[in-house]
Amino acid sequence: MATKLPKVISMDVYPVAGYDSALLTVTGCHSPYFTRNIVVLEDEAGNKGIGEIHGGEDITAMLESYKPFVIGAEISDYRRVITDIRNGGYKVKGDSGEGLQEHILQNFKFVVKAVAAVECAMMDLLGKYLNKPIAALLGDGGIQRTEVPFLAYLFYVADTKKIDLPYLVESGANCKDDWDIIRRQVTLTPEAVVAEAKAAQKRYGFKNFKLKGGVLSGDEEMEAIDALKNAFPDSRINIDPNGAWSLNEAIRLCKNRRDTVAYVEDPCGPEAGYSSREIMSEFRDATGIKVATNMLATNWRQFHHSTVLHAVDIILADPHFWTLSGSVRMAYLLNDWGYTWGSHSNNHFDITLATFMQVAAAAPGEITPVDSHYIWQDGQELTKNPVQIRDGVIKLPTDPKTGELLPGLGIEIDMDKVLKANELYRTMPACYRDRDDSIAMQYFFNDWKHDPKKPCMIR
């Protein structure tokens, strides 16, 4: 008789918050806090499985609605559970199908697959039962690499002295090194961007860099790219304006820069009645520069049209947009078709960092270095043994005594820290529970509103 696997006996959802820097993007300025949702499952064997997903009250409501589908399920039944949730779980109304073509923050809840947190937690339990890392359970070929390359995600940072909001400022004995100091300081010039990159490289050993654009004029941002290339001539340098440039401007800025920029992520958005997929196809043809996206292909139908139009070369398949299994499925398809897989990120805790590492370890072929905002949250971990970025990579966690790969996510939840982060979520002003980058921008421009075709500091 077949052995039955342990069943899930409890599912808890913890909306949590952490502290952020005043990071600038086309959508505005990050608030002092960022929010996430943590899922903790327990099975009959007493093991805990964990998952992390984007914050926001709608996503919390989705996760709470999944409990009847999860509790009582065998830990190996995560695929059926995901299917049942898709068919019967709570769905937020109002999805226009626009996705993230114009990087509207309110649309993230329609793009994010909250079920990915459940999938991750159940796979964490299954991995512990089988004594296998999640990476070994994903895709057709299991583990493809034991070291995953990550890039330094650089941002322009606003002057918090001009913003009367409670941003975290680390100083003195609270700082490990220059990175802890510089990540909270104003960064608005090419020289400051290079200093930020050097501090990040010194701590984490990064060999590749990406600058978040959509903040200043395109010419100023490309000056920063040139400065980064001069400072790190052997590194891959990328820029992500989140669609803030017009087609003509993007072509002017990027033409003849193939030796400077490894790829440009979402340089353009919808324009003159054409979708971002059509516009980016024209950009790619005109410049010959590789194009990456996390905006114009956020589901399989959008991906189909993106490839038919030859609009992209690199799909940044965030597991929280695609699910863990879906992201690895995308990686196999891209590898077979001659495209490149990568992963986009959002502000997150170390549970997501470990998740990205496991998914990327299962992705075949030559992947592009993985994005991570975690360097901006480093020190706010929710686990007892967070994975570490060293020499620009994260290694699959191993048992220090035996050297064997640790099962599941390879990390252990610290419930005291989770509860503390939950307490911060419950006590901070409610206006921060759903991300709103316009709040801090009011200190720079009266009645500032997001315009997808204007860098945030150009008004």
Tell me the torsion sign for CA atoms 279, 281, 287, 293. Answer: positive
Give the span between the Cα atoms of 20 and 33, in whole angstroms: 5
Enumerate long-range contacts of 31-34, CB under 8 Å, 24 or more apart: 31/165, 31/432, 31/435, 31/436, 31/437, 31/439, 31/440, 32/165, 32/166, 32/167, 32/168, 32/432, 33/424, 33/428, 33/432, 34/347, 34/377, 34/435
Q: Which residues are catalytic?
A: 212, 344
Bridge-based pairing of strands 236-240 and 263-265 is parallel
Phi-psi sector, 410: left (phi>0), alpha (psi -120 to 50), beta:
left
Q: Which helix (H) or strand (E) holds 238?
A: strand 236-240
Residue 212: both structure tokens together: 């978040």
- The neighbour count for residue 129, using CB atoms within 10 Å, is 19
Q: Which phi and psi (to 5°) does residue 300 adopt?
A: -65, -35
Q: Which helix (H) or strand (E) holds 418?
A: helix 415-427
Q: Which phi and psi (to 5°) does residue 157 adopt?
A: -125, 130
Query: Strand locations in 122-229, DSSP E?
Result: 147-149, 152-154, 208-212
Q: Which helix (H) or strand (E) holds 33?
A: strand 33-43
| Contact by Cβ (8 Å): 81, 67 | no
Bridge-based pairing of strands 24-25 and 28-29 is antiparallel
Q: Which helix (H) or strand (E) holds 254?
A: helix 247-254
Nearest to 109 by CA among 173, 60, 172: 60
Identify any residues that bridge with 74 across adjacent strands, giving them in sequence order.
Answer: 7
437's CB contacts (< 8 A; 6+ apart) are: 25, 27, 28, 29, 30, 31, 105, 450, 456
Q: Which phi and psi (to 5°) does residue 315 adopt?
A: -105, 120
Nearest to 106 by CA among 457, 454, 450: 450
